[in-house]
Amino acid sequence: MAATVLVVEDEKEIRELLRRYLERAGYAVVTTASGAEAVRLLGERAVDLTLLDLGLPDVDGDEVLREARERGAVPVVVLTARSTVEDRIHGLRLGADDYVTKPFSPTEVVLRVGAVLQRARGTAADAAQVSSYGGGRLRIDEARHEAVLDGTAVELTPTEWGLLTALASVPGRVYSRYELVNRVRGYEFAGYERTIDSHVKNLRHKLGDVGPGLVVTVLGVGYRLGWTRDP
């Protein structure tokens, strides 16, 4: 079944260009020029990814991004004319999974959409067995793309999922921020290394009281998983 991409872009020519390229790539596409309409659609439709322009006329794109993050783990790729590193960092800290600056190649956007969706879903090559940690308190099923803590599923963004599975791949091993960027993103991203702390903070919050002890800070180095893998 084709993935559904919600395109939120107020410029009609760009919106239609993206729609055509995405549909040619096999995606189902829903479009809107309104931030308020985007929030409504996110609540009513099954959307697999949101392609979001931050410069919307009615609702600030940052607010739409916050709404998307609060409504679950739908990946968000940001489109914007804001091209400075600080602007990119701002968007990523709000929870964006990727960032494309205007002007852009529609082919590149389609490729980035595919890469983010692949990270979000996991691949068939992921380990089929469930790994557990801390005496069964944390269970990670990469094939199902599912993390369960104390019997309750934890809803994670693709970036948070990538951080958790990277740390859990070798419990106790300390990963630098640079290593985590490359494990999570799959490529270098200017300025992204500086946002890892924000994503770790969000991940810990979702893990509740055990968050700080599960995702441990190693001062001056990076992070490690604080629980051991069960035999």
pLDDT in tens, the chain (231 residues): 578 999 999 999 999 999 999 999 999 999 999 989 998 888 877 888 999 988 888 888 888 888 777 766 688 898 877 666 676 676 677 778 888 888 889 998 999 899 888 877 654 344 446 899 999 999 998 877 889 999 999 999 888 998 999 999 889 999 988 888 877 765 445 455 567 888 899 999 999 999 999 999 999 889 999 999 988
Question: Model pTM?
Answer: 0.57
- Report pLDDT for 212: 94
Cα–Cα distance for residue pair 91/80, rounded to 1 Å: 10
Contact (CB, 8 A) for 228 and 133: yes
Cα–Cα distance for residue pair 169/190, rounded to 1 Å: 25
- Report pLDDT for 124: 37
Edge-to-edge strand list for the sheet holding 49-53: 28-32, 4-8, 49-53, 76-80, 98-101
Helix (H) / strand (E) element for 5: namely strand 4-8
